[in-house]
Structure 1
C-alpha cells in the first residue's frame, strides 16, 4: 500500500497562491502566510472571514492546524506584539496553539474566478467581467529566439504554462523567421556549431503575452523546452490592461426588474436581515455592478460602464449623494454580508485542489461568524 503523503503548511500556501497569486494583491495589502511554521504538518484547515482569538479557539476545537482568512490578521506594520491587545492577542493564541494563519485578501478579490465572481453568481448575473480591469505591468511580452524546427515545441510548452492568452483567445503568438548569430565560448556545449567559431543560423522570433504572476513558471518551461543551453529571450512589461482580472464585476440580469425587487432578491441571496438602498425603488435594473467589501470607490466606474446599480458595502453619506447625482442605484449589503458567503466558495475551491492532488487534508468552513452591526 502506498504511503499517505504528508502535507505541510508550505504545500497549503502553494495551493492558495496558485489559485490567488500574491502578485494580484494591492500594493498596500498583506497576504500569504502570516503566522506559523511552513514545515508544520496540516490535516485540517478552518476557513473564515476574520481571524481573532475566538477563531483560533474554534480551529483548536476542530483539530485544525491552519486558519485561512480573507481579512489579514497582520495588516499594518507592527510596533509591538503583546497579548494585551489585538492583533497581538490573536498572534499569541495562534502560536501557542500551533495554528498557522494564512490570508487571501485583495488577491482573492481580483482573481478570476474569485470572491467577486462568486458574489455575482449568487446574485444571478450573466456575462460578467471585471468592473475595474488590470493594472499596467500585469501583462508581459515574452520574445524568444528559437532554431528552425523547434519553434512549435517551444510554443506548445509556453502555451501549456499559461502564456499566449489574449481576452477569450488562447494559443496566441506572433512568429517571424530571421537569422541569428553567435560564438560559443571554450567551455560551452553548443546545440549548433562548435566552441570558438562564429555561427549564423536560421532562427524564429516568437512573441507571446504572459500574465506577470505566471512569468516564473513560463520561463522555467521555456528553459526546459528550448534546445539552446543559454536561451536568448526578452521580457517586457506592457501598458495593456488585462481584462481577465480586476476589482468588482459587472454583468446583466436575465430580465429587467425594479430596483426594489432586485434589492429583495439580494437580501434573500445573501441571507441578510436588512440592506440600505439609494435611488428610486421603481427604477429599472438590468445591468448590475458588484464589489464585495468596500466598493464605493467604484461608483464612478460603475456609472461610466452603464450599470443601473452597484451592490457593495460600507457606503458613506457623500458617496451615496454622488451616486444619486450620477443616476446610479446603490445597494449597501454590508462589508460582512457581501464577503462572508465566499467562505464556503473558498472551501470548495481548495477542497477541489486537495481532491485533484489526492491530499489527505480536509477544509472546513467556520460557522457562526456574525455581522458586527445590529439594527435596533
Structure 2
C-alpha cells in the first residue's frame, strides 16, 4: 500500500512543481507523508463540503487543484473556514495535497483536459514555456470541423459541469469557428495572446468587464475574432480531475474518486428579459 509520500512523488512527476508561478502554493498542506493511502478523493476546491465527502467515502487523501492557504494564514482556529477544514482533516486522519499552476502549465494538465473535453484537437501551448515548448499557459488547437459560435457554445455548456454562471458568449453566434484557445481558471490576462495566435474563439473563466470589452472592441476593428466564451472558474478546471485520478490510480494501484460536488460559489442565476429575448 503506497504512502502519502509515494502519491506526492507521482503527482510531482506528472505536474512538476518547477512549472508553478512564484506566487503559488502547491504540495502537501496537511498530512503525514508516512501514512498509508487506500483511497483518494480528487476535487477542484478544498472546501468543508469536499472534506465531508472524503470522510463519507473513507478517503485517506484529498487531491485538489486549488490550494487551501494560497494567501497564507497566521492563525487557524476552528471558527474560521480554513481552520475548520484543517481541524476536520486532522481529526479524521486525511491528508490534503494540491497541484495548482504547475498543473495548469503541465502537459496533460488542466488546459489540455479542458481542450479535450470541448473537442479541441492537436493542441499546443498558447504561451509555450521557454524551457519546454510542450508545456506552458493555456492551449490552442482546432475543432474536428467548423461550427457556428452558437453551436460551439452549446457544446461548452453540455460538456462542462452545470453551474449557475452558465456560459456567456461575446460575438456573432452565426460566425464559423475552427481554431479554439482555452485557459482554465482566470484567463483575461491572456486575451491578447489568444488574438495573436489567431484563435477564432477563446474559452476561459472570470472574464472582467473592461478587459473583455477592450478585447471585443479591438477584435471588431478587424475580423471580430477571437470571440469570447466565459464559463465558471470551477467548471473550467473540473475536467482535469478525471485525468489526474486515472494517472494516480494506474501508477499507485489505489482507489480514486472524482468529486462531482459543485464548489462554484454562485447558487442561482436570473436572466434579464432582454437576455431571454436574445437567446
Q: TM-score, normalised by structure 2?
A: 0.89
Deviations 1:50-99 (A, max 9, x none): 11222222212211111000110121121111111121111111111111
Whether 1:363 aligns to 2:256 is yes
Q: Partner of 1:284 in structure 2? A: 176
Equivalent residues in 2 for 1:238-249, closer than 5 Å:
242-249=132-139
Superposed displacement of residue 325, structure 1: 1.9
CA contact (8 A) 1:23 1:107 kept: yes
The partner residue of 2:199 within 301, 307, 311 is 307
Superposed displacement of residue 284, structure 1: 2.1
Superposed displacement of residue 18, structure 1: 0.9
Q: Secondary structure at the match of 1:375?
A: coil
Aligned residues: 261
Q: Secondary structure at the match of 2:97?
A: strand
- Cα distance in 2 for residues equivalent to 1:366 and 1:124: 22
CA contact (8 A) 1:323 1:329 kept: no
Deviations 1:180-205 (A, max 9, x none): xxxxxxxxxxxxxxxxxxxxxxxxxx
Q: Partner of 1:98 in structure 2? A: 93
Superposed displacement of residue 271, structure 1: 4.2
Over the residues paired in the alignment, what is the CA RMSD in angstroms? 1.4
Whether 1:25 aligns to 2:20 is yes
Q: Partner of 1:337 in structure 2? A: 235
Structure 2 gap segments, 5+ residues each: 220-225, 271-279
CA contact (8 A) 1:272 1:333 kept: no
Superposed displacement of residue 41, structure 1: 1.2
Specify which structure has the higher proportion of helix.
2
- Cα distance in 2 for residues equivalent to 1:333 and 1:349: 26
- Cα distance in 1 for residues equivalent to 2:195 and 2:218: 7
Q: Partner of 1:179 in structure 2? A: none
Equivalent residues in 2 for 1:145-156, closer than 5 Å:
none
Structure 1 gap segments, 5+ residues each: 1-5, 140-241
Q: Secondary structure at the match of 2:81?
A: coil
Task: Tell which structure's C-alpha radius of gyration is larger.
Answer: 1
- Cα distance in 1 for residues equivalent to 2:126 and 2:33: 35
Q: After TM superposition, what 4+ stretches of structure 1 lie above 3 angstroms from structure 2?
A: none
CA contact (8 A) 1:303 1:326 kept: no
CA contact (8 A) 1:115 1:342 kept: yes
- Cα distance in 1 for residues equivalent to 2:15 and 2:248: 11
The partner residue of 1:316 within 199, 202, 208 is 208
